[in-house]
Amino acid sequence: MSGQAAKNQSAISVTNAKAQAHVALTERYRGPSTEPVGWNETLSVLLAHRSVRAFLPRKVEPWILEAAIAAAQSASSSLNLQLWSVIAVQDPERKARLCLGVADQRWIREAPLYLIWAADLSRHARIAERASVGDDLLDPDNLDPLATSLVDVSLAAQNAAVAFESLGLGFCYIGAVRLYQQELRDELALPSHVVPIFGMCVGYPDPDRPTGVKPRLPQAAVLHRERYDATAEAGYIDRYDAHMYAFQGEQKIQQVIWSEYSLRRLFNLHASEGREAYNAALRDLNLAR
Amino acid sequence: MSGQAAKNQSAISVTNAKAQAHVALTERYRGPSTEPVGWNETLSVLLAHRSVRAFLPRKVEPWILEAAIAAAQSASSSLNLQLWSVIAVQDPERKARLCLGVADQRWIREAPLYLIWAADLSRHARIAERASVGDDLLDPDNLDPLATSLVDVSLAAQNAAVAFESLGLGFCYIGAVRLYQQELRDELALPSHVVPIFGMCVGYPDPDRPTGVKPRLPQAAVLHRERYDATAEAGYIDRYDAHMYAFQGEQKIQQVIWSEYSLRRLFNLHASEGREAYNAALRDLNLAR
């Protein structure tokens, strides 16, 4: 399945949907998969996801942004609290100033649309202020509002992501934004209790610079039946290390052993420079004083 | 748009897609919306979401569960760490034991499939153990691994949700699972560093017990252009309070003022009984000792 065909669901005919499903599953898991009994265009969109970091200059049409945000708002929200906001940045100069951190994030400059997804307790802080409701009895160490808002913003963003991909656009998440809390607060005029969690570069993929479908862990490594069972896990991880190594070779990027490298990346979450400010911001996702 | 038609994307013909889009946007925002320039079946699936809590006895076919988990694994994962797991419960007796907390969660019993979505750092704990890598230098108070795993599991679950809905199934998230950490740990044999964040009831919706599309805040209340701007917010919230009040009347459920009620619900996150255990579990989403 070519990258463009995968992005363009109108090109998918019903007759070849099942064969295409087989290919999509094989690409994702790098192993033989049984041909599914049924299939549809939405599954093709979901399965064909790959992060896009090379964009055409073509602008994102206003109705597409609005449809994607309507999709985001259609995602479930815990207790219907809707604890998130998104800031849409299209001004080239502002986008250039937001190329923070990672050495060559030219894709933030290149993407015509840069969305900053934020957990947002500030709306309820304003509601509480208007209603003159006190918050003195709340526990400032309770992580539940933080967790609730992180889930809310993630469900919403993923729906927007699927909407963009269904329309032939591509995107990549930018996790580094979390490490630039003060810079984003200044640039985007964010009030307290608004915490950028990730960015999202959006645009039309450059067909001359395609990316491949990244393999994932075998399904049995993440899907447990009735009870959690990691007894066969070591074998799954060895197999996945091999798949990732092959994929990196094909993509002509540095080849590493996934299990070793991912452990180092996880440990690096403790070493990053912006960590202190991010932690302070996360702890601020609460209405307790 | 009827509930069934919205769930069954194969019923959507191209010719009426735009008119349907107009209806979907009007249902979600309860206000006049411009007819979008384009549309597709995936957008229809995303926009038509409503939580389903009444299911037919029909089982979820095995290939559908596998396709939905493949969709979940196709979602982006921060640094490709894949910090999540899902436990699929289909045994009726286990499902009955998992009807925890909320008074009448008959939908957990009724749904043929109950998925427990968990943030999972245990896989990397096992990798570290096999590699004899020490974790003594990590900061136990760093919330970054917690935030990263919450985002990962949410992106994955939402992709699965969209996959199910595209195939005519329905679902509802169960946020209460987070408050029953010990019960779930025992019932599902969860190791340390595996934290259930939400459940998901899945099955075929009972057409005789349909639910409506829940209105959301006006788009301008959550979508900010270039910079965060809450100056017009009070008016948006008043309008939304009226929309929710009307919706609750139509659904014949208790009518409340959303802004007041949601503030109370948010404050209740600090009062729930399972909060202590949930907080302890969240703090355990870290490899630091």
Burial track A53-82 (b if 16+ CB lie within 10 A, e otherwise): bbbbeeebeebbbbbbbbbbbbbbbbebbb
pLDDT confidence band for A32 (50 / 70 / 90)? low
pLDDT confidence band for A104 (50 / 70 / 90)? low
Closest CB to A167 among B25, B38, B259: B38
pTM to 2 decimals?
Answer: 0.94
pLDDT at A5 over 50: no
Q: Supply the pLDDT for residue A15.
A: 53
Q: Do B275 and A142 touch (CB under 8 A)?
A: yes
Dihedral in degrees, nearest 10, Cα atoms A263, A269, A271, A275: 180
Q: What would the pLDDT profile of A16-31 be if each residue is shown by its tens digit?
A: 777 778 888 999 999 7
Is the minimum CB–CB distance between A195 and chain B shorter than 8 Å? Answer: no
Mean pLDDT of A270-279: 91
pLDDT confidence band for A215 (50 / 70 / 90)? very high
Nearest to B162 by CA among A159, A279, A7, A181: A159
pLDDT at A161 over 60: yes
Look-up of token digits 């998969």: A33
Q: Supply the pLDDT for residue B85.
A: 98
Q: CA A43: distance to chain centroid?
A: 18
Q: Supply the pLDDT for residue B125.
A: 95
What residues of chain A, 219 to 278, have a C-beta less than 8 Å from chain B? 219, 221-230, 233-234, 237, 258-260, 262-263, 265-267, 269-270, 272, 275, 278
Q: Do B278 and A144 touch (CB under 8 A)?
A: yes
- Provide, rounded to the nearest whole percent, the portion of chain B with pLDDT above 70: 92
pLDDT confidence band for A103 (50 / 70 / 90)? low
Q: Please report, as a single letter, which amino acid is at residue B61.
A: E
Q: What would the pLDDT profile of B79-102 be if each residue is shown by its tens digit?
A: 999 999 999 999 999 999 998 876
pLDDT at A138 over 60: yes
- Closest-CA residue of chain B to A278: B144
Is the minimum CB–CB distance between B283 and chain A shorter than 8 Å? Answer: yes
CA distances from B168 to A196, B26, B75, B202 (A): 34, 22, 21, 11
Q: What would the pLDDT profile of A33-72 be if each residue is shown by its tens digit?
A: 777 888 899 999 999 999 999 999 999 999 999 999 999 9
Q: Which has more confidence, B136 or B234?
A: B234
pLDDT confidence band for B15 (50 / 70 / 90)? low
Q: Supply the pLDDT for residue B266.
A: 92
Q: Which has more confidence, B229 or B132?
A: B229
Q: Could you give the CA distance from residue A38 to residue A285 in angstroms, rounded to a whole number?
A: 43
What residues of chain A, 12 to 51, have a C-beta less than 8 Å from chain B? 21, 24-25, 28-29, 34, 36-43, 45-49, 51
Q: Do A228 and B63 touch (CB under 8 A)?
A: no
Q: Do A73 and B217 touch (CB under 8 A)?
A: yes
Q: Please report, as a single letter, which amino acid is at residue B236.
A: Y
